Amino acid sequence: MKRLAVLLLMLPTIAWAQAAPPAPPPVKPPGALGSHTCAQQYPREATRLGQEGDNTVSFHITADGSVTNVTVTQSSGIDVLDQAAITCVSGWLYKPATQNGQPVEVPWQAKVSWRVAGFKPESIPANAIISPVAIGLPHVCRDYQRSSSSEYILPPGTALLAFNIETDGSVKNAVVQRSSGDARFDKYAQRCVGAWQFRPAMQNGQPVEMNWVEKVAWQQ
């Protein structure tokens, strides 16, 4: 009788185990389509300076094989190379991963290596000034399509602004050298440029202040 009672107690467990759903089929990994190298997108200034490094980049491969949600999970230590890696990997294409014969989205990682072929440090002359490099937020000016009355207005022309890039990479004394033809946009462009950040100009390994000029055009 006691043995029968034990068996009866085990029956729900046995029935539950038999009713458990089968394990999902394995995911077949994606396959690369086209070129997955970034040599053509090596930042010009980094190439000139011989700046090299490695990025680990995380992203998702969607069910149509495109890449989304690109982030740098291991930095090269050089901002322009990190940003270039994000731009490069965002354009990659894959044969999507599949599960049970259907395309599925999957998380993925890749390593991007930056190497300058034939770079010789002595090719940079002594006392040469290395130009500033844009970092941080994109150096564009957006959100100028509405007037104070909230009506859409036509984009103005291009303004030419001169400014100083300080030794900490900040922008000071932005002035309009050539007007866009719209005084409101000229003032907006001054504020926009004033928020930009640069890797400062360098001379003999030390940051130096530099005068700089940029064209500023409204962008959507």
Question: Is residue 7 in a domain?
Answer: no
Least confident of 42-51, 76-85, 87-96, 99-108: 42-51
Entry pTM: 0.49
Instruction: Examine the domain organization and report whether 108 and 31 are in the same domain.
Output: yes
DSSP 217: -
SS3 for the chain is CHHHHHHHHHHHHHHHHHHCCCCCCCEECCEEECCCCCHHHCCHHHHHHCCCEEEEEEEEECCCCCEEEEEEEECCCCHHHHHHHHHHHHCCEEECEEECCEEECEEEEEEEEECCCCCCHHHCCCCCEECCEEECCCCCECCCCECCCCCECCCCCCEEEEEEECCCCEEEEEEEEECCCCHHHHHHHHHHHHCCEEECEEECCEEECEEEEEEECECC
Question: Is residue 206 in a domain?
Answer: yes
Instruction: Examine the domain organization and report whether 49 and 86 are in the same domain.
Output: yes
Q: Looking at the predicted structure, is the pLDDT value of residue 203 above 60?
A: yes
Instruction: Examine the domain organization and report whether 133 and 90 are in the same domain.
Output: no
Question: Is residue 140 in a domain?
Answer: yes
CATH number for position 145: 3.30.2420.10
pLDDT at 213: 87
Q: Looking at the predicted structure, is the pLDDT value of residue 92 above 60?
A: yes
Measuring CA to CA, which residue among 65, 157, 53 is closest to residue 108? 65
Q: Which of 69 and 156 is assigned the larger pLDDT?
A: 69
Give the chain's domain count. 2
Report residue 154's pLDDT band, with 50, 70 and 90 as the boundaries.
low
- Give mean pLDDT, residues 171-189: 90
Question: Is residue 143 in a domain?
Answer: yes
Instruction: Examine the domain organization and report whether 146 and 212 are in the same domain.
Output: yes
Instruction: Examine the domain organization and report whether 31 and 60 are in the same domain.
Output: yes
pLDDT at 125: 63
Question: Is residue 136 in a domain?
Answer: yes
Q: Looking at the predicted structure, is the pLDDT value of residue 147 above 50?
A: no
Q: Looking at the predicted structure, is the pLDDT value of residue 182 above 70?
A: yes
List the domain range (segments joined by +) for residue 59: 27-116
Looking at this protein, which amino acid is placed at residue 197? Q
24 vs 39: CA distance, rounded Å: 40
Instruction: Examine the domain organization and report whether 49 and 84 are in the same domain.
Output: yes
Report residue 2's pLDDT band, with 50, 70 and 90 as the boundaries.
low
Question: Is residue 4 in a domain?
Answer: no
